[in-house]
Amino acid sequence: MHRITRKLNFFRRNHFILFGAFWILMSIFYLFSQILSAEDSTFNYFMSFGYLIIGLLYFYQNHRYGQKKGEYIEWNDTVLNYQENFGKFYSFKLSSLINVTVTRENFIIKAQNAQGTMASLKGYSEEDIAKLRARFGNQTSSL
């Protein structure tokens, strides 16, 4: 299969880890502020526990979507696949496609029964877009 992949920046690849670390650090901050405080207040304990839960949920999301990091378009003679970053996986048989359009910024797939999707080509290299254009161009099949 031929595959082209989008280069993702650091934040898009690691945003679950970054937010998880932020909330864990906030949890530690509230826990230490309660320990170092002379007052006996349970508010900081509750805040610390809440932020810890939020941070752990972000790390869980990172683990859950670990295999879906990255965006790519792949194809062979029979199938066209598109995977969104942290999103849905689309698979189309080339024989069921009505129209495939490659513009400067978008890759538009129209299939039967109102199926299809549009992929942004921002972030793909010019060579990858040229490969896509060479294979699909503005391909229209008759039904």
User: Is residue 15 domain-shared with residue 37, that is, in the same domain?
Assistant: yes
102/42 same-domain check? no
Domain match, 64 and 86 both: no
Report CA Rg, the chain.
Answer: 23
Say if 3 falls within a structural domain: no
Note whether 76 and 52 are same-domain residues: no
In the block, tokens 């698979």 appear at: 91
Same domain? 54 vs 109: no
Both 89 and 43 in one domain: the answer is: no
DSSP code for 143: -
Split into its structural domains, the chain has a count of 2
Predicted confidence pLDDT, tens digits, the chain (143 residues): 888 888 888 888 889 999 999 999 999 998 888 888 777 778 888 889 999 999 999 999 999 887 777 888 999 989 999 988 877 888 998 888 888 888 888 888 888 887 888 888 888 888 888 888 888 876 655 44
| Share in percent of the chain as helix, strand, coil (round to 5) | 45, 25, 30
62 shares a domain with 80: no
* Domain co-membership, 58 together with 92: no
Q: Which residue range is the domain that position 94 belongs to?
A: 72-140
Q: What angle do CA 63, 65, 71 make, to 5 degrees?
A: 140
- Residue whose entry in the numeric block shows the structure tokens 């299939």: 111
